[in-house]
Structure 1
Amino acid sequence: MKEDRIEIQFFYVPDICFPSSEEMTKKFGKLKFWKHKKIDTPEVPTFKVPTFKQYLQECHFVDAGKQLIIREDRMFALKQEGIGSKMKLVEEEEDSEARLAKDYEDLLELVMRTLENSLDLQSAEEQEVLKEAVQAVLQEEEQDVRWEGFQEKERPPWRPRRCKQNHEALLERLVQRRMEEAQLDPSIEIHSSMQQSITCKAKQLKEDLLKVVTWVRSCYPEQENVCQFYATLYHRIFSAKLREIAEYTLCDEDCILLLQWVKQDYPNILNVPKIKEVIDHTKLDPLLPEDMITPLEQQFLTSEKREVSTCLHKILDREETAWKDGELPQLMDQVDCCPQAIDVIQCFHRHVEYAQKMLCDETKARSITCQMSSFLKDYETFHAKVIKSKQTNTEAVLMVNLSCLIQYRDYITKNAHLFPEDVKTDCLSLLTTMTESTQRYFISNMHKELKELYRKVGSNEWLKNSQGVDEELLAKLEQHIQKFNNLDKMCCQELLGEIHKEFLAEYVRKMMKKKIKLSDKDQQEMAASELCLNSQRIHTCLTAAGSNIEWLEDILPKLAELLKLQDPDSIKLQLVDLMSVYPDLSERHISAWLRLKGNLSSLDRKMILESVTCSQDQIEDKQDSLQFSRSFFSIVRIK
């Protein structure tokens, strides 16, 4: 490049006639010449533009690049104006072009070297240098755009430079190298080579993305979205590594580890607050394609099902062994305690929740819940053995088992969303069957103990002294149900509710045995009054023990009302009312109860029954769900 020269011009000034010294002396007298003191004139500071090499030394890449662009534009102008046809100028231009090309190489070498150290910044000064390098790249990209449209012969041979494209390729190589050279923290003990490979790369990925956010991001214009660019590079390389691993047949442990990285650990990295703020992970491709994810998920689910099954059956085996050995349940806070239900529910729920997190899909995780159905079927077999046995600890074990059954039922009901409909239905059906069989066991024992006293109900002895019969019966019942004091509250409440219903049903059945006949109105009113009093005694006894079925209190008084009524039409109305409340009240029950009324003719009884039967269809249409839940007379079995 030719050096700039300052051109000084000299102007010609014509002679002017000035007066001579003699003339001046004559006019002004003799002049006195003073010795003038030299006045210092301030020096005007001169600004010297740094040279290209100085700019490079100071890492001012943008200014250095501007100088090169000015020189490049000047050469372009010379070409366009056609100057340089003379050999000398052509040679000068060619020499200048060679120097310019060399200067460009020097500039871009430093720029790219700076970019290569993007992830090693440690100071604000280094940040500024990187910012200069980035701006120089963008400046060169703009210059490429200016040359667009010109023929190849009309533009410099180095245009387009494609600096931005080279910059992206360099960063890609940088990321590739850092991921390949990633080292695992020696303090972390990982035995699986596969996990070591993944963990060290994931660690490098996270650290580098945080560096990009903290140090590199501010060096780029916002529209360049450099954080997203780096995230895409790291994501692509990490994904390629996981795909390579997924192509092999993995053991269950490695399968779970790989799936965990895909579903949990890697998303956790992207959700680190600093990273999440600047990176849109929805624009990243899936770490693994669907055709690779599906087999891993199936293998994981198979493994989890096996784990759940093993865990649940170990608990069941433990309980069965304790029962066979004659062990009694322990007491905790004066309540029979069995850790079985807690252990089963915790084990099951832990695995289901884990599957949900691993698969990020509640529907897929549901397939594990079939293991609960399988467990309950085996539990039913064990339960049947206990009921049939005559071991001394059978009753105690069944009471604890009853508590477990209710806890399983409540868990499944409250977590119904975890179960497919068919599995939930199957489980609840099994639990209902086992619960009912256990309750029948205790109710059957109760009926055996009270059998002799039941015979007095509805007999002449009862008619003469119903209070005495009932007190003796209830005393025996209270003695029987004391054994349930150690049941937990909910379990005791349900069992005592069933005992309450069954006791009252047997009481009504005995009244319908036709052992007595109330021949006149006075007897019928007296019997009705005694039934109401006995109903109150029975209800007080059993609700105090734990039953919470309040509607049972009204059954005996409503039946007693039938005994008091004498008019057939009034009896019909009372029966219609009774049938509307208790839909399982049958014609046989009505006929048996009306036979207690000795003064009711066969014709009237027949007419009443026919009338009630005709009204039954209309009553059923009007019954609501609450009334249907009040099933009582179906358990009053009469011949």
Structure 2
Amino acid sequence: MAKSPTFAKNIFQRLTMRRSKKQSTSDNFEINNTEIPLKPCTVLKIRDYIQTDMLKEAYLNLLSMRLKLQKEWEAVGEGAPPTDLVNKQTDASMLLGTLRNKMSVIVRNSSALPSCNKELLVYVTHIILEEEKRQGEPGAMQGWREAWRDAIRDGVQDTLKKVHLDSHEENASWLAVHLGLLGKAVVEDLERVKTELLSSYPEDFNVFETYVSCHREAVGEHLKILLEKVTELKDYYALLDFIVHRYPSDLRDKQRTLIMEEDLLNKIKTLYYHRQMDDFKSALENIIIIEKEVWTMKKTPYRTDDGFLTSETYMDICKLIASYAGNLEKIDENLGKSVVRFCLEELNPFHTRFEEEFSQHTSSLLTSDLLDCCLWVQYHISYINSFNSLKENMQCYKENCSAQVEQLEKQVDELIQRLSQTLINHFKTDVKVFVNGVHYYVAREYVSQLMKKKYSCKKNKNEDAAAKMREQWNELKKLFEDMGSSLNWLYPLGDYLSDIIGMKNEKKIKELLIPLVSNYPDISKKQLSAVLYFRDNSFSLEKHNVINQFTVLKRDGLNTNHDHSFFTDIE
């Protein structure tokens, strides 16, 4: 393309003026006119300089070539340039591109081999600064600083690619191990930059900040690739933990943070949430499968150390939700709340499905022998207790998930009511077979709860507790009277215990001991102490006197009305 004489003249004047300035080679690497050869060496020689890392010689000869070309362009004027001049211009552009590519390779390798490239990096920065001053001149090439940054980014990517990565088949902890190594590699790379590369660059290059930024980009892209391989919940969590905690903390001592792209972080959170949903559903399904085995194998229900019939079902569910909440609280509070809300909501259809499976797989026990019938009763009691415990344990989430907890309470209460009603209906329809045994069993289980010292009345609540106990005992009394139980001697027990628990004046409790010991002579000192503990767990002289009175009554062999055994069956 032809150049006007005026344009070529102006360019030449600018180049001549630049060469005539007195310039320093130490900090700004300004080019002195005496350093630029009057006659450039050959294209092959300049290319050889570039290939052998003789950057200064290559660049000075390139400047000489560009100056010579400007004179030749000026001489051509507005006429068509000769082919030879066009080819020379092509050679100059090609050599300049080759030089920049060489510089990019040097920068790309600098963090891996900092000591080998320190002097070359000085020339690289000087050439970049010099070319930035010459922007707009004929033959100048744009984007030197950008090319330098791209080379840093490529070098960082090279570093990350070298980090060891096992397959899932080789190591179940493949991702956690890799992320640990990745964080270590980033820290070590930035340490090398800080200790060995900064001195090779002028301050305005912002070298460390540039490396930090490139690491952020490279790690972000690397995590996107890893994310495509992730399928398990623990690996999603490992990614979140790495981004939120481990990666920034690795650089905390440098007062820098590497923050991942918000979109990437949100994507991982979303994937984690959905995988968590699937895992929790699967866990609930597994619970039903395990309980089916219990029913099919006619396994005895689980008892606590104090003989309390329950099921491990609620414990498994509570542990699961607590682990989800605990883990995510460290990562993202809102994500943790969302997962807990989902779990609480998912328990509602689980209870429906559980009830259906339970009814279907245990109904055959009622058509078998008496032992199977008793087992059917124990199952109902254990699940009633279990779901009550579940409801109580979910109260800790009420502050953040009030609607879900309230709905769960309603669903559990309805489930417990149905299980209880089923139990009662069975007693009513099959009362002639084992009504006395059931009456005795229910009374024993009820009273045994007082023996466990799991609860004591506070602030005069003993009167309310006694009234509640009397009401429940009368309901049981009416039920078993209607069913035709002949264990009439059991009926007064609830009144005796309610009287002791609800008595305002401790002194008068001694008067209540006579009918209790008379009708139930097998009650022990330990068991009476448990009843008094339920009433009020504080020590008092009157309580001590009550125990002493009890001991005297037992020692003197108070006349008893019958020889029935009850308390000796309570552990």
Residue 174 of structure 1 deviates from its aligned partner by 2.1
Q: TM-score by structure 1 length?
A: 0.47
Partner of residue 414 from structure 1, selected from 389, 396, 413: 396
Residue 256 of structure 1 deviates from its aligned partner by 4.5
Matches within 5 A, 1:70-469: 71-73=31-33, 93-94=38-39, 104-106=55-57, 115-121=107-113, 126=115, 130=118, 133-144=120-131, 146-147=133-134, 152=137, 164-180=145-161, 182=162, 184=164, 190-191=168-169, 205-218=182-195, 219-220=197-198, 224-240=205-221, 243=224, 254=231, 256=233, 259-260=236-237, 262-274=239-251, 277-282=254-259, 284-286=260-262, 288=264, 296-297=271-272, 299-321=274-296, 325=298, 327=300, 329-330=302-303, 332-333=305-306, 335-336=308-309, 338-351=311-324, 361-365=335-339, 366-380=341-355, 391-394=373-376, 396-416=378-398, 419=401, 421=403, 423-435=404-416
CA contact (8 A) 1:497 1:548 kept: no
- Residue identity in the other structure for 1:361: L
Residue 408 of structure 1 deviates from its aligned partner by 0.6
Residue 340 of structure 1 deviates from its aligned partner by 3.4
Residue 446 of structure 1 deviates from its aligned partner by 13
Going from structure 1 to structure 2, the CA distance change for 1:373 and 1:204 (only over 3 Å counts) comes to same
- Residue identity in the other structure for 2:315: I
Partner of residue 489 from structure 1, selected from 454, 461, 465: 454
Going from structure 1 to structure 2, the CA distance change for 1:294 and 1:478 (only over 3 Å counts) comes to closer
CA contact (8 A) 1:270 1:276 kept: no
Residue 428 of structure 1 deviates from its aligned partner by 0.5
- Residue identity in the other structure for 1:214: E
Equivalence for 2:502: 539
**More displaced, 385-394 or 406-415?**
385-394
Residues 142-165 of structure 1 deviation map (CA, whole Å, 9 limit, x = unaligned): 4445556xx626xxx6x6786544
In the alignment, structure 2 segments of 5+ residues that lack a partner are 1-22, 60-98, 429-441, 478-495, 504-511, 517-527, 537-571
Distance in structure 2 (CA, Å) of the matches to 1:338 and 1:316:
9
Residue 171 of structure 1 deviates from its aligned partner by 1.8
Matches within 5 A, 1:563-574: none
Residues 236-288 of structure 1 deviation map (CA, whole Å, 9 limit, x = unaligned): 34444555676x7x8xx626477445423344442333367443333x42463
Residue 223 of structure 1 deviates from its aligned partner by 6.0
Residues 180-229 of structure 1 deviation map (CA, whole Å, 9 limit, x = unaligned): 4x2526xx563289997x78985674344212332212432676443443
- Residue identity in the other structure for 2:336: E
Distance in structure 2 (CA, Å) of the matches to 1:342 and 1:414:
15
**More displaced, 63-72 or 163-172?**
63-72
CA contact (8 A) 1:112 1:167 kept: yes
Residues 383-440 of structure 1 deviation map (CA, whole Å, 9 limit, x = unaligned): 779899672245544554343233211111112256472x423320133235556778
Residue 332 of structure 1 deviates from its aligned partner by 1.8
CA contact (8 A) 1:369 1:418 kept: no
Distance in structure 1 (CA, Å) of the matches to 2:281 and 2:423:
36
**Secondary structure of 1:93's partner?**
coil
- Residue identity in the other structure for 2:247: L
Going from structure 1 to structure 2, the CA distance change for 1:376 and 1:488 (only over 3 Å counts) comes to farther
Larger Cα Rg: Structure 1 or Structure 2? 1
- Residue identity in the other structure for 2:32: E
- Residue identity in the other structure for 1:410: E
Distance in structure 1 (CA, Å) of the matches to 2:452 and 2:277:
38
- Residue identity in the other structure for 2:264: L
Equivalence for 2:471: 501
Q: TM-score by structure 2 length?
A: 0.52
Going from structure 1 to structure 2, the CA distance change for 1:115 and 1:445 (only over 3 Å counts) comes to closer
Distance in structure 2 (CA, Å) of the matches to 1:480 and 1:200:
53
Distance in structure 1 (CA, Å) of the matches to 2:389 and 2:497:
35
CA contact (8 A) 1:242 1:287 kept: no
CA contact (8 A) 2:380 2:420 kept: no
RMSD: 5.7
Distance in structure 2 (CA, Å) of the matches to 1:209 and 1:152:
40
Going from structure 1 to structure 2, the CA distance change for 1:436 and 1:244 (only over 3 Å counts) comes to closer
Distance in structure 2 (CA, Å) of the matches to 1:312 and 1:398:
17
Q: Percent identity?
A: 9
CA contact (8 A) 2:303 2:309 kept: yes
Distance in structure 1 (CA, Å) of the matches to 2:167 and 2:396:
41
Distance in structure 1 (CA, Å) of the matches to 2:497 and 2:137:
115
CA contact (8 A) 2:394 2:405 kept: yes
**More displaced, 378-387 or 113-122?**
378-387
CA contact (8 A) 2:391 2:412 kept: yes
- Residue identity in the other structure for 1:500: R
CA contact (8 A) 1:119 1:216 kept: yes
Distance in structure 2 (CA, Å) of the matches to 1:330 and 1:68:
83
- Residue identity in the other structure for 1:414: C
Distance in structure 2 (CA, Å) of the matches to 1:314 and 1:483:
32
Distance in structure 2 (CA, Å) of the matches to 1:191 and 1:333:
46
Equivalence for 1:512: none
Distance in structure 2 (CA, Å) of the matches to 1:396 and 1:194:
41
Going from structure 1 to structure 2, the CA distance change for 1:434 and 1:549 (only over 3 Å counts) comes to farther
Across the two proteins, how many residue pairs are aligned to each other? Answer: 399
